[in-house]
Amino acid sequence: MNRALILGGALSALMVIAALLSFVWTPFDHGAMNIPDKLQTPNSTHWFGTDHFGRDMLSMIMVGARTSIAVACVAVGIGIGLGVPLGLWAAARQGGWVDEVIMRGNDLIFAFPSLVIAILITAVFGAGAINAIIAIGIFNIPVFARVTRGGALPLWAREFILAARVAGKGAARISIEHILPNIANLLIVQATIQFSLGILAEAALSYVGLGAQPPTPSWGRMLADAQTLVSIAPHMALVPGMAIILTVLGLNLLGDGLRDALDPKLRVARI
């Protein structure tokens, strides 16, 4: 059985459950400051310790997971929602001007260092989760467009597509009926990868103060808070760091596992 899939799925599920659970319950109020209890190392009351304001780290991690997941989710949604149709369109008009314009546009977005542009956007339009989402989402569009086109092009040369054309079906209908289901695997795998990249990007933006703003907790800002205190309270950096690493690792393993599990060639071989 696929170990990557199980481990990745478990880690990803753990984060999602933590985020969902935080809506109804957290060990402490994530925003409640309690200066006497500040900078506690992990103990039986505060499992992940407390920060410099005495806030419970576990509660903050749980609520922060919400931010990370929401930002990454919407950013991936933007990428899929715009990138996939563009990619399908480009593939259906292979070699035509539509294809050319879409792909050149993609190249152009790739030419921008994504983080710089994300910083530029949040700097100009103001820091905040919404702008972070847009900034990350924009760079997901060419990724999905490219993957979609790359997966669709060889399919367009396949004979079952020709057969569908002989059956009188138009490009849009063929794209939805034949192309999309056959590249769904590719897109799912890519989505998990972009999801993990989104979580990393959100953390980076929050770390430099351009992501979710206080009082919304976020893992990146927890790390920013930890930076000056890392020598006296290393757990303040370790806890959010491990949360990010485990989530991203889980998503990447999930992506790898899904790719193996969904690969039709492998499935046929197993039957």
Q: Residue from 130, 164, 186, 188 that binds another protein (CB under 8 A)?
A: 164
Measured from the Cβ of residue 9, the count of other Cβ atoms closer than 10 Å reads: 17
Least separation in angstroms between CB 126 and another protein: 9
Nearby residues of 15 by Cβ (< 8 Å), 6 or more positions away: 65, 69, 243, 246, 247, 250
Which single residue is written with the structure tokens 């004979």? Answer: 159
CB 5 within 8 A of CB 254: yes
Annotate each residue in 29-68 with x if it binds another protein (CB under 8 A) or - if it does not, as one string: ----------------------------------------
Please state, in angstroms and rounded to a whole number, the distance separating the CA atoms of residues 270 and 122.
Answer: 49
- Rg from Cα positions in the chain: 22
Least separation in angstroms between CB 60 and another protein: 16
Q: Residue from 130, 200, 261, 262 that binds another protein (CB under 8 A)?
A: 200
Burial of residue 140 (CB within 10 Å: 0-12, 13-18, 19+) is buried
Least separation in angstroms between CB 137 and another protein: 16
Residues 113-152 that bind another protein (CB under 8 A): 113-117, 119-121, 123-125
**Site residues (CB under 8 A) for another protein?**
107-108, 110-117, 119-121, 123-125, 158-160, 162-169, 178, 181-182, 196, 200, 203-204, 207-208, 223, 226-227, 230-231, 234, 237, 240-241, 244-249, 252-253, 256, 264, 268, 271
